[in-house]
Amino acid sequence: MKLLEGKTAIITGSARGIGRAIAVYFAQHGANVAGTDLVYDDNCRALEQELSSYGVKAKMYASDASDMAACEKLIDNVVADFGTIDILVNNAGITRDQLLMRMTEEQWDLVIKVNLKSVFTMTKAVQRIMLKQKSGSIINMSSVVGVGGNAGQANYAASKAGMIGFTKSIAKELGSRNIRCNAIAPGFIITEMTGQLPEDVVKGWYEKIPLRRGGQPEEVAKVALFLASDLASYVNGQVIGVCGGMQT
């Protein structure tokens, strides 16, 4: 029996990077996958094909995770297509790094909207489905900088710290309905997001990581699989680091 056999997962921002790796991992373990990203492009088409090759139902939707009305419409569409939603992964996220001195109001607002408001809009839209079926697993993609902060990332760190407060509150609010909510705090993971960083910055990060390397998206996906599955049936309201020991 596969770990997520018969379950349906919705994963935001899954056209690439960590979200994509989670979609693939979930499908390999039997989950039907509804993925989202800002646009439906060739990446989405290729992912749908790859996921379907594992014998599960897979569909990508173009939807802005930070737009309440879009999320409600998305959830209606996913329920119409898949019948139910058992797992929500709030993965969509962006950076707009800048020292506070130079950070604009737009950079602050956008990061808070995409990273933090999206967790509210998606969870609010999905909760009615999970409440009705009296089960669910919600996984929020936070970051080590949400726990420890980072110079030049005040907006991003604040959004990721906010996700942790949200996670712990929802764990307490929905736990009695058998809905679990946990956060993952990845460290330095090799994706297009970190691909924008200069080589010397990357080298600096690696020196701070006891395992002396960046993580692969699949290494985050493995923890998401654990949290999504019944292996984590008594894990609720936790923040799990996936950072090679960068933060202990």
> Which residues lie near ligand NAD (CB under 6 A)?
12-13, 15-19, 36-38, 64-66, 91-94, 114, 118, 141, 143, 186, 188-189, 191-194
State the amino acid at position 106 in one-letter form. E
Q: Toward ligand NAD, which CB reaches closer, 22 or 129?
A: 22
Q: Toward ligand NAD, which CB reaches closer, 170 or 223?
A: 223
Q: How far is the CB of 175 from ligand NAD (least distance, A)?
A: 24
Task: Compute the CA torsion angle 159, 14, 211, 95 (nearest 10 deg).
Answer: -30
- How many angstroms separate the CA atoms of 19 and 37, rounded? 10
At 33, list the tokens. 């996958």
Q: Toward ligand NAD, which CB reaches closer, 162 or 186?
A: 186
Q: Toward ligand NAD, which CB reaches closer, 133 or 210?
A: 210
Q: How many other β-carbons are positioned within 10 Å of the β-carbon of residue 194?
A: 17
Residue 156 designated active-site = yes
Q: Toward ligand NAD, which CB reaches closer, 49 or 233?
A: 49
Q: How far is the CB of 183 from ligand NAD (least distance, A)?
A: 10
Phi, psi at residue 89, to the nearest 5°? -115, 110
State the amino acid at position 49 in one-letter form. Q
> CB-side exposure of 155: number of CA atoms within 13 Å?
24
Q: How far is the CB of 157 from ligand NAD (least distance, A)?
A: 11
Closest CA to 6 of 87, 71, 80: 87
Q: Are 204 and 161 in contact (CB under 8 A)?
A: no
Phi, psi at residue 146, to the nearest 5°? -70, -25
Q: How far is the CB of 3 from ligand NAD (least distance, A)?
A: 22
Q: How far is the CB of 94 from ligand NAD (least distance, A)?
A: 5
Q: Are 107 and 156 in contact (CB under 8 A)?
A: no
Beta bridge partners of 140: 90, 183
Question: Which one is catalytic: 40, 61, 156, 234?
Answer: 156
- The owner of tokens 């800048």 is 98
Q: Toward ligand NAD, which CB reaches closer, 168 or 177?
A: 168
At 226, list the tokens. 């654990």
Q: How far is the CB of 185 from ligand NAD (least distance, A)?
A: 7
154: Cβ contacts below 8 Å, ≥ 6 apart: 100, 103
- Please give the positions annotated as active site: 156
